[in-house]
Amino acid sequence: MDPSTFIDPYLTPPDRLVLDNLLLDSQSTPEKPKSSGGTPDVPSDADATVSQLEAFNDPRHADFVPTIFFTWDLKDIKLPPLLDAWLLQPYIRAARSIVRVDTDVVMLTHLLLYFTTSVPSAIYLFRNFHWLHGVLHWIMQSYYVGTYTLMMHQHIHMGGILKKRNWWLFDMIFPYITDPLMGHTWNSYFYHHVKHHHVEGNGPDDLSSTIRYQRDSLADFACYVGRFYLFIWLELPTYFLRKGKTLLGLKAAFWELSSYLMMYLLWNYVSWRATLFVFVLPFLQLRVGLMVGNWGQHAFVDETDPNSDFRSSITLIDVASNRFCYNDGYHTSHHLNPRRHWRDHPLAFLRQKDRYASEHALVFRNIDYIMITVRLMRKDYDHLAQCLVPMGDQIGMTHAELAAMLRRKTRRFSEEEIKRKFA
């Protein structure tokens, strides 16, 4: 597969609209790129595409499309008429009355999935442990965790995902049940991501900042992951104390340490084997995954203006990030507006497309954050340049120039540069 020409037929319809629009901009002829699979009708201009994306998200519009499942788009679900009328459509209507945003039926779908698989499986492991069940449970949770984490990403930014009137209590309580099963410590994602990372924005005071590391160095990456792995329990509370946010520091320490205490007690006094597969392995695995993802999201930092959200984060148009993980590929859009709803990212991107181009923002396709990190560890800038969707001045650059540009943006910043550029 040539990442510079392949168009994944499994892209979401909004992703396909965005990608086709960008490819039309980058081509000298108006001919549309050929797809490896079926393609939606793509308007030839950005305004028409914006209008179509607005219609997808507007419950009052005839073209409104809620997300029910990630594996299938609604138009691809071909049920017998009886099942559609008596099962699918009633479920959609009921779910829309429960979820906070009408598009988000998929969130209820996944909550039902977790509470009918993860929760009973974990309980059964503590009641009647078997090694095979333990391994299969861990594999299941490993499959769930990416989608779950990005659902919780919406939860912590929006203050919940279910309607407040009747579902506020369950909306508040369920993370305390499901978070540890996926490897999260209680409330730490909120304190680290919302109250810390988005405040600092990959700047010098961001504990997960990449600017002090050579982003294509395996040794630097190991130090980056190791620091988070071993010391975040201490560094995050002390960060809040340094910033004069004593209460946040105490809360962050309490919830992180209480999660460790819960695992310790279950290990020593209930079942160490069940605790290993239900809580400890998911916890250890997720901590690596979070840092691998953050490294990929913030590996390319502009050498001239590293403080710009357009230039210190990237956008991905790929299946793993956007179909299965709530448009997590639109990371620049998320940093520009952390409270922006996940379904609005493709629309917001197109509305600001010219600004992205003028700011020299980076857009990739056919690659996710994990594979960006892997390719960087291999210093494979040739492949990364092939995945780049050029915008603005990048359109006229040769492949070698694009690869050299990407290499420059992974260079470690010296302390003198940091003081000067982040003054």
pLDDT digits (tens, 9 = 90+) for 318-371: 999 999 999 999 999 999 999 999 999 999 999 999 999 999 999 999 999 999
Task: Give pLDDT tens digits for 378-420.
Answer: 999 999 999 999 999 999 999 999 999 999 999 999 999 999 9
- Among 406, 312, 400, which residue's Cα sits nearest to residue 367? 406
Burial class (CB in 10 A: 0-12, 13-18, 19+), 76: exposed
Domain span at residue 169 reads: 66-182
Q: Does residue 134 fall inside a structural domain?
A: yes
What's residue 423's pLDDT?
A: 81
To which H or E segment does residue 111 belong?
Answer: helix 105-116
Number of structural domains the chain divides into: 1
282-307 average pLDDT score = 97
Task: Give pLDDT tens digits for 24-75.
Answer: 988 854 444 444 444 444 444 788 899 999 999 999 999 999 999 999 999 9
What's residue 401's pLDDT?
A: 98
What's residue 1's pLDDT?
A: 82
Q: How far is CA 149 from the centre of its chain?
A: 8
| Residue with tokens 């598009």, as numbered in its chain | 103
Two structure tokens written together for 190: 């909120």
Cβ-Cβ contacts under 8 Å for 244 (sequence gap 6 or more) = none
Work out the pLDDT band at 185, boundaries 50, 70, 90: very high
| Vertex 120 angle, CA 116 and 121, to 5° | 110
d(CA 15, CA 322): 8
What's residue 203's pLDDT?
A: 96
Distances (CA, A) of 365 to 130, 351, 385, 408: 42, 19, 10, 20
Q: Does residue 114 fall inside a structural domain?
A: yes
Q: How far is CA 15 from the centre of its chain?
A: 15
Distances (CA, A) of 289 to 151, 285, 326, 370: 16, 6, 17, 8
What's residue 28's pLDDT?
A: 53
Q: Does residue 29 fall inside a structural domain?
A: no
Q: Does residue 92 fall inside a structural domain?
A: yes
Conformational region of residue 337, where left means phi above 0, alpha means psi within -120 to 50, and beta covers everything else: beta
When computed from its CA atoms, the radius of gyration of the chain, rounded to whole angstroms, is 22
What's residue 159's pLDDT?
A: 95
CB burial readout 86-95, b (16+ within 10 A) else e: eeeeeebeeb
90-102 average pLDDT score = 98
Q: Does residue 345 fall inside a structural domain?
A: no
Please indicate, yes or no, whether the overall pTM of this predicted structure exceeds 0.75: yes
Q: What residues form DSSP beta bridges with 363?
A: 315
Task: Give pLDDT tens digits for 216-265.
Answer: 999 999 999 999 999 999 999 999 999 999 999 999 999 999 999 999 99
